[in-house]
Structure 1
């Protein structure tokens, strides 16, 4: 399993799209900062570029790298990152 994980990380860092299992289906994954890889996911899915893709982020500051959050109430985003 460790070999597969290392291979997946290497592919994502190289700007490639990988397939990952989720609890209900398989999904596509890539580096959200790699525009070529993001465009490739849109192509694979045959999706309109106006339809957003989900991304995973590590913290609130990273959300702000990818989205405009000025309109949200102060503190709202941090609620999603509280340790339970």
Structure 2
């Protein structure tokens, strides 16, 4: 899966949780309206969408500050 495909899927996941008109991949998640509850929901949807499994530590990690961070993380897990 290419980085662009991951970005598209991640945008779809984000839009299923909160309404965002246009998503800048470098914006911090909290800047687009993702709170801690939505982040957990998003990570669960990421697991399902990309068929990956996150450890408990990865679920509570502060590593996902932006969508770009999340894309890089998914690339490493795939």
Give TM-score, length-normalised by structure 1. Answer: 0.27
The higher-RCO structure (CA 8 Å, 6+ apart) is 2
Give the number of the structure whose residues are more often strand, by fraction.
Answer: 1
Q: TM-score, normalised to structure 2's length?
A: 0.29
Greater share of helix residues, 1 or 2?
A: 2
